[in-house]
Amino acid sequence: MHKFFNTLRPRFSEHGDLRAWRATFQLIDRFLYSSPTNTHGAVHVRDGNNVQRVLNNFVIGSLPCWLIGMWNIGEQTNVAMQLTDTEMLPGWRGGFIDLLGVPYDSLNIGGCFFVGLLYFLPVFLTALATGAFWEILFAQKRQRPIDEGLLSIAWLFSLLMPATVPLPQVMLGMTFAMVIGKGIFGGSGRYLVSPPILGAAFLVFSYPALVFGPESWVPVPGYNEATTIELAIEEGGVAALLAVDYSWWDLFLGNQPGPMGISSVLGCLLGAIYLILSGSASWRIMAGSAIGLSGTVFIMNMAGGDILLAGVPWYWHIVIGGWAFGTVFIATDPVAAAVTKPGRWSFGLLVGVMTVIVRLTNPSYYDGVIFAILLACIFSPTIDYFVVQHHIRRRTLRQEDLRDQ
């Protein structure tokens, strides 16, 4: 198929007015496929797992999270409509659902998925168009080919958003992710922190009440539903969750308020298996994060204290909030994460430990995985540096021992 598209490839001038059209065509041509240029010679690694395919694997791996997330948004919306006696959703979504005759039924899986899809698609398409604009602009001004990774960045960024996020804020967050998070560093392979998490963090700091406020999670006007992590911290730990009929298995499946695609630990587990088998993500980072989170929670459980969340067992911590999604799909970013094997263990441990610490100490935004991953990404070059220096010292000592013999 890619050879067929190559026959349709127009010949653009390297200079002049056609450079913008050339960049636009490259963006479309390389949206799913990588460059048709092949490496030659013995010194090159020739493998089908190129940059574009590795980044697209993160999209494929997150499809279970997306499918469950769309159903969850629709189910939460239909339940809220029943509780508030709302007959139809406001705006064009309500008219479209009424036109197609889709029922507002929380037990109708297809209907729930369709409702969730109506909230996800505008966010994703807006993020994709915004990212495409900046990719084309950077490629045109720098006279370089279009960079890889647009699809994965827009997709993961959209999954991190709540269903009620305004589209202007989506444009601002995606702009911050593409320009500050990626473009100014030179593109894929050069940025310091993962662009999707940086764009989400920008919105957390800039529009906390508008984008991640109490009424952001379920898109029914006037309906306020706290996230499970807020219930655990503010109301009474696991007892508060059980009191409102949240079982561990419900949260493991992903049936809880939150961003559109991060609530399902089951989906994250399936995605983790796919990413590990495809060689796209490091299992050491995932395992290190799990050890860091469970170990820190165990210490907090032993220490006790006045904080309700300090008494929540580790197996509840993994199903509340977005730790699982952040660990599997964001912390394993092949560019921003550590690259040495010991460094990946340390990187993952830092993510897990800091997630719990932020959950216990942050009075405004409880789910600490965003800040934990940002901090770990900032320290990943330092972690790799000390690992490399340690190997150099060990090699120097071995050489000195051999000379002494």
Crossing angle of the two packed helices 195-206 and 369-404, in degrees rounded to 10: 140
Q: What is the pLDDT of residue 16?
A: 44
Cα separations in angstroms, 67 against 158, 196, 302 = 13, 19, 38
Tokens of 41: 């010679």
294-317 pLDDT, tens digit per residue, is: 999 888 888 766 566 667 888 998
pLDDT at 148: 78
Half-sphere exposure of 61 toward its Cβ, with a 13 Å CA cutoff? 28
Give the distance, in angstroms, between the CA of residue 240 and the centroid of all CA atoms in the same chain. 28
Does 49 or 170 have the greater pLDDT score?
170
Say how far apart CA 219 and CA 164 lie, in whole Å. 6
- Per-residue model confidence as pLDDT tens digits over 12-29: 444 444 455 555 655 666
Contact yes or no for 181/198 (Cβ under 8 A): yes
Summarised one tens digit per residue, pLDDT across range 79-137 is 999 988 888 888 899 999 988 888 889 899 999 999 999 999 999 999 999 999 998 88
d(CA 259, CA 318): 16
What integer is the mean pLDDT of 64-75?
A: 95
Rounded-to-integer distance, Cα 97 and Cα 76, Å? 16
Segment 239-254 mean pLDDT:
90
DSSP 3-state percent helix, strand, coil across the chain (nearest 5): 65, 0, 35
Return the closest-CA partner of residue 87 out of 104, 75, 106.
104
H-type alpha helices, 43-194: 51-61, 63-84, 91-100, 109-142, 150-159, 167-179
3-state class (DSSP) for residue 162: coil
Tell me the helices (H) and strands (E) count for the chain, helix number first.
19, 0
Question: pLDDT digits over 15-64, tens only?
Answer: 444 455 555 655 666 655 555 555 566 555 555 556 778 888 999 999 99
Percent of the chain with pLDDT strictly greater than 70: 85
Q: So what's the pLDDT on residue 73?
A: 95
Q: Quote the DSSP letter at residue 34.
A: -
Instruction: Give the number of other Cβ atoms within 10 Å of residue 259's Cβ.
Output: 23
What pTM was computed for the model? 0.87
Residue spans per domain, the chain: 19-34+53-225, 264-405
Q: Is pLDDT above 80 for 7?
A: no
